[in-house]
Structure 1
């Protein structure tokens, strides 16, 4: 039987005993006293007084039970919350692992978000070919993760740790990698059009010259390859110093989309 249930039953038993004694005392107090039976009346009065004392003791015992068990109840609640989080993490990993190597989302965006919110490291996770459009992995720990040929359109990867991550052939169109650690990441053949690389750390990043960078924000990029900033601006990337970053008025939406 759960600890909380046992404690509640003891308290309710004590409370019920106190109420029963109160009813008996009241009934006895209202009973008519026969003439010449003073000794019997005194005995009943003493019994009534004893019942009152027992009632008070029962209420005090009930209050003590609730007070004494408050830490146990709190510990039980905390243990239950910890177990629930473990169960949630286990189910999320099942979703990710069962969909490994398969296309589509397979519930992975929600599973990844939940694991990240629970503070679980996603180091080395294999998400090749996954459909992770607009996945929320802000601040996630994803070193050596693999996103080869994955759809990360609009993904939120701000301040994520993506050291050594594999983005070969991935679509990162409009994705936010602001402030992300991308040291040694491989972007060979990736699409970074309109992505946000502001303040990202690109030390030793690979394949950047093989990416599409139209309208990519490179403001404040740190430790990029030699000559990367100048080359990226020539490819259509933008920063605060860019003289013209807005889309010309004579460009249709379809034309701009093709550039991305």
Structure 2
């Protein structure tokens, strides 16, 4: 009887120890889980930071290579890789102000919205170029071929255009203030002049006499048809 009472008295103590150990193990499991979650979060932040640094470096390298192409081809004819280089620089929001691509073959180059103030495109082939919204203030476009180019909303204030060809170009809403040498433009036939801004006195009338489109745009004279029909102008 005495032995039975002893065993009954010890049993609760044993259960208490077991419960304590179980709770202790659960506690450390929670600690390990929380620590692992923190490590994952910290490593993720480090990876994201490293990715941003890598992307920034790749952008710098890309811009450096593009500028290398543009500068090394200066004064040479042909493309010399400048179409892709200039497009990439413009896409990366790099200023192209003052760039010199005289005589370059830049057919279809995409420079929409680019900063090209004081740039020189003298005698360059910009046929079908996408220049809508670009800043071409005081740019040198003398002798450039801008046939079928998209110049919608482009700032051409003070640009030099003597000898330039604007056949079938779209100049909708373009700013033509203080345009230099416009009476010596080589060709402006079928150019679209709707809503041009601040054009020099007499420019619109002169251009229409040369065959430019100064009235509402018809379906047959859409930008796509211009580009196709006058690609060889």
Please classify the TM superposition score into its range, dividing by the shorter chain length. Answer: 0.7 to 0.9
1:71 aligns with 2:24: no
Give 2:14's aligned residue.
none
Contact conserved, 2:140 with 2:160, CA < 8 A, in 1? yes
Answering whether residue 159 of structure 2 is matched by residue 195 of structure 1, we say: no
Question: Which region of structure 1 is more displaced relative to structure 2, 146-155 or 109-118?
Answer: 109-118
Structure-to-structure mapping, 1:176-255, within 5 angstroms: 176-211=150-185, 212-240=187-215
> How big is the shift at 1:84?
1.2
Q: Secondary structure at the match of 1:132?
A: coil
**CA distance change for structure 1 residues 257 and 114 in 2, over 3 Å: closer, same or farther?**
closer
Structure 1 position 174 matched with structure 2 position 148: yes
Structure 1 residue 113: deviation in Å?
A: 1.0
CA contact (8 A) 2:155 2:176 kept: yes
The answer to which of 73-82 and 111-120 deviates more is 73-82
Pairing 1:3-22 to 2, within 5 Å after superposition: none
| Deviation (angstroms), 1:78 | 1.5
SS, match of residue 68 in structure 1: helix
Would you say 1:82 and 2:56 are equivalent positions?
yes
Q: Paired residue for 1:33?
A: none
Residues in 1 aligned to 2:216 and 2:81: alpha-carbon distance in whole angstroms: 41
Name the TM-score, length of structure 2 as normaliser. Answer: 0.80
In the aligned structure 2, how far is the partner of 1:62 from the partner of 1:245? 65
Give the deviation of 1:109 after TM superposition.
1.0
In structure 1, distance between residues paired with 2:71 and 2:166: 27
CA contact (8 A) 2:128 2:231 kept: no
Structure 1 gaps of 5+ residues are: 1-44, 248-255
Structure 1 stretches of 4+ moved >6 Å: 48-53, 244-247, 256-259
Deviation at 1:55, TM superposition (A): 5.7
1:57 offset after TM fit, Å? Answer: 4.1
Distance change >3 Å, CA 199–CA 67, structure 1 → 2 = same
| TM-score, scaled relative to structure 1 | 0.72
The answer on 1:126 being equivalent to 2:100 is yes
**In structure 1, C-alpha distance between the alignment counterparts of 2:142 and 2:74, rounded to whole Å:** 17
Q: How many equivalent pairs are there?
A: 211
CA–CA separation in structure 2 for the residues paired with 1:232 and 1:126: 28
CA RMSD of aligned residues (A): 3.0
Name the SS for the 1:73 alignment partner. helix
Which sections of structure 2, spanning at least 5 residues, go unmatched? 1-17, 222-228
Contact 1:214 1:259 in 2 (8 A): no
Q: Give the number of the structure with larger relative contact order, counting CA–CA contacts within 8 Å between residues 6 or more apart.
A: 2
CA distance in 1, matches of 2:163, 2:114: 24
Shift in Å, 1:52? 7.3
